[in-house]
Amino acid sequence: METLHQEVQDYYGKELASSADLKTNACCTLTAPPEYILEALREVHDEVQAKYYGCGLTIPFDIEGLRILDLGSGSGRDCYIASKLVGPNGYVVGVDMTDEQLDVANRHIDYHTEKFGYTVPNIEFVKGNIEELDRLGLEKGSFDLIISNCVVNLAKDKQKVLDDAFDLLKPGGEMYFSDVYSDRRVSQELQNDPVLWGECLSGALYWNDFLNFAKKAGFTDPRAVENKPITIENKKLEEKVGDLKFFSVTYRLFKIEGLESDCEDYGQALVYNGGIKGQEHGFELDDHHYFPKGKVMAVCGNSYKMVHDTRFRSYFTFHGTWDTHYGIFEGCGGAMPFAAEAVGAIQDCC
């Protein structure tokens, strides 16, 4: 374990000077963020941005006032975006194990505090291993949101990361994170390749293993928000990985009491009334739940709770009770997270 951590620290602390040094495009965000996030990003210091190695968009909607933890915060890009968006009443904690990355992040706290107009910083960076979150002095049940961008794949004990994250969340909180997944289990030989591991490829979780880990941790109904195939664009490495396919997927994992393992129909419905920045015309819960503003939408019990028992509650009107069960919720599908064109699968809907 120690060798692995040392190799990852050397890769991100010494080998890579900036994202231009990456040997594949696995650690590259594929989708442009919404305008209000781009606005915040424009205020983030250039040095922080140059050392961004994320693979997705890990900032969900409606985060003002939240207490956020970023696992593997690197040079701090996502933390600083979050610092701006949570405002002076929110707070952001970044955890990373690599000194060089932490140095960059810490060097710019004053710069951003002043830039965002805060009298005191609303951010801190902690040195630590995300596989030992229970040893960092972080209070259990104290975070509204845990984010992470292209890091869990680099951890050896992914189950432990998810277990600890679950414990650190408040009830109704969520883990919203982007990571690299594979369409089959990665061989030990490829896992032993330090470049493939450092580039966030060979530590990728086979998506079905991830779903089982997440459920075991207590995140009963993982929801994919976005997924994109990763093209390696490096002939030598492409040959090494063979038929394996990799995907960047953003998941949201809610910590909600009473979520069920399947989508069940209680005859409930929701109406999104608007009010969330960036979601003016409709609310996107995940890649198969979009609630157009003002439209009555039938939902399963789990989707109802994901809105009713979380920070999104005040933006919705709720219809129905839990009194009668009508069976399986019609239209619910499996949670195949991969882009249909890449694996010949049909995108599911629920």
Ligand X SMILES: C[S@@+](CC[C@H](N)C(=O)[O-])C[C@H]1O[C@@H](n2cnc3c(N)ncnc32)[C@H](O)[C@@H]1O
- Residues forming contacts to ligand X in the complex (CB under 6 A) are 8, 12, 27, 52-54, 72-74, 77-78, 96-98, 101, 129-131, 149-151, 154-155, 200
- In terms of CB distance, is 53 or 329 closer to ligand X? 53
Which single residue is written with the structure tokens 């968009």? 57
Between 56 and 301, whose beta carbon lies closer to ligand X?
56
Residue with tokens 């194990």: 97
Shortest CA distance to 30 belongs to which of 183, 249, 181? 249
Residue 27 or 263: the one with the smaller Cβ distance to ligand X is 27
| Spatial CA neighbour of 48 closest among 9, 96, 1 | 96
Measured distance CA(48)–CA(75) in Å, rounded = 5
Least distance (Å) between residue 51 CB and ligand X: 7
Compare residues 97 and 204 and give the one whose CB is closer to ligand X. Answer: 97
Q: Which is nearer to ligand X, 130 or 270 (CB)?
A: 130
Q: CB under 8 Å to 2, separation ≥6 — which residues? A: none
Amino acid identity at 212: N
Beta carbon nearer to ligand X, 96 or 226: 96
Provide the token pair at 20.
Answer: 């231009």
Q: Around 63, how many Cα atoms within 13 Å sit in the side-chain half-sphere?
A: 29
- 160 token code pair: 């432990």
Give the nearest distance from C-beta 148 to ligand X in angstroms: 7
Q: Where are the alpha helices (DSSP H) in the chain?
A: 2-10, 35-42, 46-50, 77-86, 99-107, 109-115, 158-168, 188-191, 194-198, 207-217, 235-241, 301-308, 340-343
- Which amino acid belongs to residue 255? K
Coil, strand or helix: which one is 304? Answer: helix
* Closest distance of CB 217 from ligand X, Å: 17
Least separation in angstroms between residue 171's CB and ligand X is: 26
Q: Least distance (Å) from ligand X to the CB of residue 12?
A: 4
* Shortest Å, Cβ 324 to ligand X: 45
Q: Please report how close the Cβ of residue 252 comes to ligand X at its closest, in angstroms.
A: 17
Q: Which is nearer to ligand X, 73 or 279 (CB)?
A: 73
